[in-house]
Amino acid sequence: MLLSAMSHISLKTPEPARLAAFYTDMLGMTAEDGAGEERVRLGWGRGHYAVELSRGPQGLDHVAFEISTPEEQAKLEERLARAGLSFRRSEASAGRPPNEISILDPDENSIRFHGRVDRSGEFLAGLRPQRIQHIALSTPDVSRMLKFYVDVLGFRVSDIMGENEFVWLRSDHFHHSLALVQRDNQRGLDHFSFDIAGWGDFKTWCDHFARRRISVLWGPGRHGPGNNLFIMFRDSAGFLLEFSAEMELYWDDVSRVVPKQWELTGHSVSLWGPWPDFRQEAKTLSHAEQE
């Protein structure tokens, strides 16, 4: 398994400064010094940034993963070479993580891997998400994407729902750092997720959002795959965000894990109730399946 953790997400949006205000005012994140109208990086007040916003058509620019050691980075480069894939390497510079490798996945999403960064700002006290946790990508061909992320990059399958309609992939101890979602006519970003501290924080966040007139679109609930608590909501630009806690942990160094197979029903992705209309996915479910 490629040992890595999600480092940051980079989003394109027509008005980066306006969207940055949502993350600072509503989520308690801090904009890095030097932020302007064209690019804003947001984090925890110290250490590496977690969200990058730059001017452009709405959508995903890239997602980045931190590789734990130089040895793991060398293994990744060997994997890419064996697969005959070209990649671009960038040396560390102001605002850029060290030894960054850029590749494109089969849907041409830009995926980056880089060396260790300063995470000292994560898990500090206060009303703010603790760290960026995972990304979910929509794709018209989950099987093709799965082959790339598992066979080429070294992610491992944790759980599957339906006939590859949903697949959850891990790259460290957490149940997933990447999810793939079957969408016949869509590709790119589905949602991304932050960790929060625990069950008590969900009440605090939901009350906070209520005061700011931000609708919680789904949850609080508990996912079957991953067993994590969650809520989902949209930021001011319409990107779908998740807050998550208590995600299942896997210990691949001392155990053998067999991926679980889940039925394609709303009660698989939300043990406390069916998924809402806006999360109806690739297949149209009957009323019985939803309930």
Q: How far is CA 157 from CA 224, 250, 282, in A?
A: 15, 11, 20
The answer for residues whose C-beta is within 8 angstroms of residue 96's C-beta and 6 or more apart is: 90
Give the span between the Cα atoms of 220 and 231, in whole angstroms.
Answer: 5
Coil, strand or helix at 147: helix
222 φ/ψ angles, rounded to the nearest 5 degrees: -130, 125
pTM of the model: 0.92
pLDDT recorded at residue 283: 42
Domain 131-282 has CATH 3.10.180.10: yes
Other C-beta atoms closer than 10 Å to the C-beta of 157 total: 19
Q: Which residue has the tokens 């969900």?
A: 202
Give the span between the Cα atoms of 19 and 194, in whole angstroms.
Answer: 17
Domain at 4-114: CATH code? 3.10.180.10
Quick one: residue 277, left, alpha or beta (phi over 0 = left, psi -120 to 50 = alpha)? alpha
pLDDT recorded at residue 93: 61
Q: Which residue has the tokens 């208590």?
A: 246
**Where along the chain do the CATH 3.10.180.10 domains lie?**
4-114, 131-282
DSSP per position, 230-287: EEEEE-TT--EEEEEES--B--TTT---PPEEE-SSHHHH-TTSPPPGGG--SSPPPH
**Rounded to 5°, angle at Cα 157 from 156 and 160:** 170
Smallest CA-to-CA distance from 60 within 209, 237, 265, 286 is with 237
Q: What is the pLDDT along the chain (291 residues), one digit of tens a residue?
A: 989 999 999 999 999 999 999 999 999 999 988 777 799 999 999 899 999 999 999 999 999 999 988 899 999 999 999 999 988 887 666 567 888 999 999 999 999 999 999 999 999 888 899 999 999 999 999 999 999 999 999 999 999 999 999 999 999 999 999 999 999 889 999 999 999 999 999 999 999 999 999 999 999 999 999 999 999 999 999 999 999 999 999 999 999 999 999 999 888 999 998 888 887 654 433 333 333
Residue 194 is which amino acid?
F
